[in-house]
């Protein structure tokens, strides 16, 4: 054995005792690579360590592989082994884009890295990879080399089956997967055009497509309910109950057993009511309040006691955690819990005994939370009311509808009026606190009996909605205070303030309008709300509100409480929906742990005879567990949002197929470098007016001002402009809608723009790959955007998966001559954005 490395090996003695023919220890290998300053292959290390014995060579190979497996070393794609800290490696998650490129979202802090379409050809959205930064272009975009694929996120893919030259392929339905999958022959034989579920057998490489086998045939795209079937599988949403869960729920009785009613605070005589939508099936919250002589209130918020039935580490709990949330599609729900619980034992149905976790609060005459207490209760809902009924009673008591509700629920009217009085006080406190109150429109789809879309209508909010919302906010704030008071490792609902980059764009936009948001680098929620109040009567109110909304981030779950910016709360948690949100269930377990412990606390009420339970039986979590659960629950929330948005987009496309050629008025909802996204008035459908359908000119995209400006004509298209458009194309596969201007605005100067041939989606992806492969290629500087309309160019025949409508696009900012996209109606974005979650 060569003396030089044996003498240098800090673990040589242990190695000699363990092995007859020892090799360099892990510590020596790491020290050697550290001094070497660069990765080395197995062969190089054998040569430098002067190993020539076959057993030693094989032993070193196995040791290097084990060290890579254990995270001590990283193996590059060329087979070399190196230290992570010496290679400046970054671990993160892949996020794909409809245009074929992608990004790496680092695990820690740091800017995203760009992945070319060539790199993405062997990656899938959601894959975990290790990369090394290689370059930064003149716009600050970071390029990288892929070192290793750590974990594959995709095992099954949903898509449309087709054949080419006798070979079957599937085009993925997922908007961030652009590469086809080659199908190997199997027992299932789909027809051309059918949607199928494919199991991946071999993952893609730079030289070969992924291969898979058809595991399930879903059917035709237009079949009723197919949009849900596709969305559920495309986003990997669990939708079948494991056998172990079925076995566990079969042990539950349909009614609350007498033994479970013992050792609880009995509130069955208190007139609790539930107030929900007409089509609600699970009722997880009930409310009641009474006013004291001092002018203050006692508010009771009773929440279904899900934690009594769903115990930690059981099959039911594991599946609930896996799902994370119930997913609400138009006309269909994928519940987090089986129906025997969600619609039965855990639903606060009227006139039946139910177990509840009760938050009893004292609210001052000024609407401040001055005291709170939690306890395990037994309640009985006295009525199942709807928002429509209660809204009519409270807002229009003299109307026929209001009088009818008052007659049916005569005994409950005084209690409802007391709740309404409390709501007004709480709402005044909300205004005083400075919480942001965006006036946004949400829609729902109305189906016929044959599940055909009849219409798309806005969902109307009345004071009954707001009353329940304020009661739930009180309960959630009391919960957050409780968690902080008892220093429990639990999940808070956190919402960060706006980033400096988003603020810069917002201030630039507002400055053009002569408006100003106070606070400069650190505005408060009240600054946002005051600006909303100042502009509420302006004709461009909705546009300014949209830009304010886009400057905010999305709320997430975390054990590190940083407060909730949008609601202007220093601490906020979710307590009120454990039937449909796993974080709420975790919070209930934390509260139950304190109630059933011997921990001194004036914020819990204990019933004599209730047993003391060990922490590991009720709440077996530490902060590290909550960190992982917070990330998981935030992911499942985004997953549910993406899936429901996909289903809604499909349904809207189906609806608009019957309206091709019709003309509508609408507003510009989003401006991009390749066109305008217009939301139609009254029917709330968004489509794209591609830049090739705008009056002929070279157009500059000014992202901070959200407008396209013609270079010669000075023609301007801005966020919020009113346009009249004609529906010209609907692409069901791409879930996109194309418009053209029906009444084109007149140009300030006559002239004809050069004619440019439109690219198809395949042309565009082929060009992108070719550009990626050019040696020394760096992205070009910002270009002008040209329209071919005036020059008599043909209309766009197709558009790639590039365009998905979002509330804030953060795709690469370089504005190139746009290719005509296949289909329409989607704006590109690096991350899917939506209305920030503020509750």
Lowest-pLDDT choice from 179-188, 373-382, 533-542: 533-542
Predicted confidence (pLDDT) at residue 759 exceeds the cutoff of 50:
no
Residue 503 in contact with residue 521, Cβ under 8 Å?
A: yes
Note the pLDDT tens digit of each residue in 196-220.
999 999 999 878 999 999 999 999 9
- Average of per-residue pLDDT across 593-621: 92
> What are the DSSP calls for 489-535, one per residue?
---EEEB----HHHHHHHHHHHHHTT---TTTTS--HHHHHHHHHHH
How many CA atoms lie within 13 Å of 411's alpha carbon, on the beta-carbon side? 6
Fold of 156-220: OB fold (Dihydrolipoamide Acetyltransferase, E2P) (2.40.50)
pLDDT in tens, 481-521: 999 999 999 999 999 999 888 898 899 889 888 899 988 78
- Assign 765 a pLDDT band (cuts: 50, 70, 90): low
φ, ψ for residue 652 (rounded to 5)? -65, -35
C-alpha separations of 728 from 162, 430, 499, 711, 790 in Å: 26, 46, 39, 27, 18
Which ranges of 551-622 would DSSP assign to H, the alpha helix? 582-595, 615-618
Contact 820, 793 (CB under 8 A): no
What's the CATH code, domain 88-151?
A: 2.40.50.140
Question: CA-based angle 700:705:707, to the nearest 5?
Answer: 45
Name the fold adopted by 658-839.
Answer: OB fold (Dihydrolipoamide Acetyltransferase, E2P) (2.40.50)
Confidence of residue 750 (pLDDT cuts 50, 70, 90): very low
Burial degree of 270 (CB within 10 A; 0-12, 13-18, 19+): middle
Question: Once rounded to an integer, what is the mean pLDDT over residues 274-289?
Answer: 94
What would the pLDDT profile of 556-570 be if each residue is shown by its tens digit?
Answer: 999 999 999 999 999
How far apart (Å, rounded) are the C-alpha atoms in residues 795 and 789? 8
Q: Are 314 and 216 a contacting pair, CB within 8 Å?
A: no
Q: What is the pLDDT of residue 448?
A: 86
Q: What is the pLDDT of residues 347-383, one digit of tens each?
A: 999 999 999 999 999 999 999 999 999 999 999 999 9
What SS3 class is residue 291? strand
Give CA–CA dist 837/224, Å, rounded: 30
- Which ranges in the chain are annotated with CATH 1.10.10? 3-84
Q: Tell me how many helices (H) and strands (E) the chain has.
A: 24, 34
User: CA-CA distance, 186 to 215, in Å (whole number)?
Assistant: 9
Q: Is-contact 77 146, C-beta < 8 A? A: yes
Using 50, 70 and 90 to split pLDDT, how confident is the model at 700? confident
Range name among 433-442, 728-737, 780-789 with the lowest pLDDT average:
780-789
Written out in words, the top-level CATH class of the domain with range 3-84 is: mainly alpha
Q: Which is more confident, 16 or 634?
A: 634
Q: Considering only 102-111, 276-285, 599-608, which range has the smallest mean pLDDT? A: 102-111
Specify the pLDDT at position 521. 81
Instruction: Give whichever of 142-156, 556-570, 747-761 has the largest mean pLDDT.
Output: 556-570
Question: How many angstroms separate the CA atoms of 412 and 2, rounded?
Answer: 91
More reliable by pLDDT, 53 or 790: 53
- Residue 412 pLDDT exceeds 70: yes
The helix/strand/coil state of 461 is coil
pLDDT category at 86 given cuts 50, 70, 90 is: low
- Locate 117 and state its tokens: 């379409």
| CA–CA distances in Å: residue 67 to residues 18, 42, 330 | 18, 12, 50
Look at residue 746 in the predicted model and tell me its pLDDT.
45
pLDDT at residue 245 is higher than 60: yes
Average pLDDT over residues 801-829: 39
Residue 752: band (very low, low, confident or very high) from pLDDT cuts 50, 70, 90? very low
Q: What is the mean pLDDT of residues 627-647?
A: 95
Distance CA(150)–CA(75), nearest Å, equals 11
Q: Quick one: pLDDT at residue 132?
A: 80
3-state helix, strand, coil in the chain (%, to 5): 30, 25, 45
So what's the pLDDT on residue 300? Answer: 98
In the chain, the largest separation of any two C-alpha atoms, in whole Å, equals: 100
pLDDT digits (tens, 9 = 90+) for 293-328: 889 999 999 999 999 999 999 999 999 999 999 999
- Enumerate the CATH 2.40.50.140 domain ranges in the chain, comma separated: 88-151, 658-839
Looking at the predicted structure, is the pLDDT value of residue 808 above 50?
Answer: no
744: confidence class by pLDDT, cuts 50, 70, 90: low
* Integer Rg of the chain from CA: 30
Rounded Cα distance between 714 and 618, Å, is 67
Query: Which is higher by pLDDT, 602 or 450?
Result: 602
What stretch(es) of the chain map to CATH 2.40.50.640? Answer: 156-220
Q: Which long-range contacts (CB under 8 A, 24 or more apart) does 743-749 make?
A: 744/695, 745/695, 745/715, 747/695, 747/696, 747/697, 747/710, 747/713, 747/715, 748/713, 748/714, 748/715, 749/712, 749/713, 749/714
Q: Note the residue count of the chain.
A: 839
The mean predicted confidence, pLDDT, of the chain is 86
pLDDT reported for residue 64: 92
Percent of the chain residues topping a pLDDT of 90: 59
Is pLDDT above 80 for 791?
A: no
Which residues, including other chains, have CB under 8 Å from residue 109's CB and lie 6 or more apart? Answer: none
Collapsing DSSP states into helix, strand and coil, what is residue 815? coil
What is the pLDDT confidence band of residue 712, given thresholds at 50, 70 and 90? Answer: confident
Which of 530-544, 736-750, 786-800 is least confident?
786-800
Percent of the chain with pLDDT over 70: 87
Q: Which residues, 6+ apart, have CB-to-CB distance to 787 below 8 Å?
A: 691, 692, 693, 694, 695, 696, 697, 698, 699, 753
- Strand partners of residue 359: 301, 374
For position 833, what pLDDT does the model report?
33
């Amino acid at each position: 054995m060569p003396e030089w490395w044996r003498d240098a090996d800090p673990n040589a003695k242990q190695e000699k005792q363990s092995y007859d023919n020892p090799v360099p220890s892990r510590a020596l290998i790491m020290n050697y690579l550290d001094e070497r300053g660069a990765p080395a292959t197995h062969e190089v290390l054998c040569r430098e360590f002067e190993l020539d014995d076959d057993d030693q060579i094989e032993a070193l190979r196995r040791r290097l592989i084990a060290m890579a497996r254990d995270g001590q070393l990283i193996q590059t794609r060329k087979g070399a082994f190196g230290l992570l800290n010496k290679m400046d490696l970054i671990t993160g998650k892949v996020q794909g884009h409809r245009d074929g490129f992608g990004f790496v979202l680092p695990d820690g802090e740091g800017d995203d890295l760009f992945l070319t379409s060539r790199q993405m050809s062997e990656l899938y959205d959601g894959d975990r990879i290790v990369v090394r930064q290689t370059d930064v272009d003149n716009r600050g975009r970071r390029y990288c080399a892929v070192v290793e694929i750590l974990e594959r996120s995709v095992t099954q893919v949903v898509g449309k089956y087709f054949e080419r030259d006798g070979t079957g392929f599937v085009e993925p339905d997922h908007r961030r997967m652009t590469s086809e999958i080659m199908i190997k022959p199997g027992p299932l034989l789909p027809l051309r055009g059918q949607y199928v579920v494919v199991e991946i057998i071999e993952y893609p490489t730079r030289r070969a497509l992924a291969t898979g086998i058809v595991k399930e045939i879903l059917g035709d795209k237009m079949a009723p309910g197919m949009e849900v079937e596709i969305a559920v599988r495309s986003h990997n949403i669990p939708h079948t109950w494991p056998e172990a869960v079925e076995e566990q729920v079969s042990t539950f009785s349909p009614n609350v057993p007498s033994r479970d009613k013992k050792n609880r605070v009995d509130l069955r005589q208190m007139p609790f009511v539930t107030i929900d939508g007409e089509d609600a099936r699970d009722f997880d919250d009930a409310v009641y309040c009474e006013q004291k002589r001092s002018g203050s209130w006692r508010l009771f918020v009773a929440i279904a006691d899900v934690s009594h039935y769903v115990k930690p580490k059981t099959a039911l709990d594991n599946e609930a955690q896996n799902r994370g949330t119930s997913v609400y599609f138009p006309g269909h729900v994928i519940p987090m819990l089986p129906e025997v619980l969600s619609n039965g034992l855990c639903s606060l149905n009227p006139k039946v005994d139910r177990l509840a976790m009760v938050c009893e609060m004292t609210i001052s005459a000024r609407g401040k939370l001055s005291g709170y207490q939690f306890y395990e209760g037994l309640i009985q809902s006295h009525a199942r009311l709807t928002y429509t009924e209660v809204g009519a009673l409270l807002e229009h008591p003299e109307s026929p509808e209001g009088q009818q509700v008052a007659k049916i629920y005569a005994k409950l009217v005084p209690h409802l009026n007391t709740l309404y009085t409390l709501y007004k006080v709480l709402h005044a406190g909300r205004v005083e606190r400075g919480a942001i109150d965006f006036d946004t429109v949400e829609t729902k789809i109305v189906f016929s009996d044959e599940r055909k879309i009849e219409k798309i209508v806005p969902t109307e909010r009345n004071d009954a909605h707001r009353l329940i919302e304020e009661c739930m906010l009180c309960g959630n704030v009391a919960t957050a205070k409780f968690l902080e008071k008892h220093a429990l490792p639990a999940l808070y609902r956190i919402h960060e303030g706006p980033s400096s980059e988003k603020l810069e764009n917002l201030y630039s936009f507002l400055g053009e309008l002569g408006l100003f948001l106070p606070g400069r680098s650190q505005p408060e929620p009240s600054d946002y709300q005051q600006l909303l109040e100042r502009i509420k009567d302006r004709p461009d109110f909705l546009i300014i509100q949209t830009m304010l909304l886009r400057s905010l981030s999305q709320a997430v779950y975390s054990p590190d409480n940083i407060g909730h910016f949008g609601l202007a709360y220093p601490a906020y948690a979710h307590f009120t929906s454990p039937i449909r949100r796993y974080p709420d269930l975790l919070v209930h377990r934390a509260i139950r742990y304190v109630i059933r412990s011997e921990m001194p606390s004036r914020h819990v009420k204990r019933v004599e005879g209730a047993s003391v339970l060990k922490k590991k039986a009720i709440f077996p979590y530490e902060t590290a567990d909550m960190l992982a659960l917070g990330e998981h629950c935030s992911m499942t929330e985004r997953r549910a949002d993406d899936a429901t948005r996909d289903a809604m987009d499909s349904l809207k496309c189906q609806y608009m197929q019957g309206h091709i050629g019709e003309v509508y008025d609408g507003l510009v909802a989003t401006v991009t470098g390749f066109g305008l996204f217009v939301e139609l008035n009254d029917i709330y459908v968004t489509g794209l007016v591609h830049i090739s359908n705008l009056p002929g000119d070279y157009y500059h995209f000014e992202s901070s001002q959200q407008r396209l400006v013609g270079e010669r004509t000075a023609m301007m298209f801005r966020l919020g402009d009113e346009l009249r458009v004609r529906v010209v194309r609907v692409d069901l596969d791409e879930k996109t809608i194309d418009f053209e201007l029906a009444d084109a605005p007149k140009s300030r100067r006559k002239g004809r723009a050069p004619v440019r041939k439109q690219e198809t989606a395949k042309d565009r992806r082929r060009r992108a790959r070719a550009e990626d492969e050019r040696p020394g290629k760096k992205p070009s500087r910002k270009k002008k955007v040209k329209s071919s309309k005036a020059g008599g160019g043909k209309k766009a025949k197709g558009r790639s998966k590039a365009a998905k409508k979002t509330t804030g696009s953060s795709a690469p900012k370089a504005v190139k001559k746009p290719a005509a996209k296949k289909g329409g109606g989607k704006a590109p974005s690096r991350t899917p954005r939506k209305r920030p979650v503020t509750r």
